[in-house]
Amino acid sequence: AQKITQTQPGMFVQEKEAVTLDCTYDTSDPSYGLFWYKQPSSGEMIFLIYQGSYDQQNATEGRYSLNFQKARKSANLVISASQLGDSAMYFCAMREGGTSGTYKYIFGTGTRLKVLA
């Protein structure tokens, strides 16, 4: 079974509009973390935002916010006021405890976002 599911392989958004990238997860670990990373065409992985499973409030980092719905096991990324530079691949990832007590990070298949001028 997929641990991290990103159902949108590609998305378009008009510049200056907001966009939501979907992510659902599956874990039985009570303590976990959820991350979003951006991968531009240059290939590097850029950390955007983090949400801990015990955090009461949704995480925000500038124009990025994470809509965390624990009961639904969803962690959608909201980008407000999209910019052309936001065009990239976006990966949702989950950190859960590994079998040896260390962390394991699992990534979704990604959503390619294209911002239109």
Partner 1 sequence: EPEVTQTPSHQVTQMGQEVILRCVPISNHLYFYWYRQILGQKVEFLVSFYNNEISEKSEIFDDQFSVERPDGSNFTLKIRSTKLEDSAMYFCASSARQPTNEKLFFGSGTQLSVL
What residues line the site for partner 1 (CB under 8 A)?
A: 33, 35, 37, 39, 43-45, 47, 50, 52, 89, 91, 93, 95, 98-110
CA distance linking residue 108 with residue 90, whole number of Å:
9
Which residue do the tokens 């959503």 mark?
Answer: 111
Residue 111 φ/ψ, nearest 5 degrees: -130, 125
Considering the complex, what minimum distance in angstroms separates the CB of residue 45 from partner 1?
4
DSSP for 10-31, written as a single string: EEEEETTS-EEE--EE----SS
Nearer to partner 1, 52 or 84 (CB): 52
| 33 vs 74 by CB, closer to partner 1 | 33
By C-beta, is 14 or 98 nearer to partner 1? 98
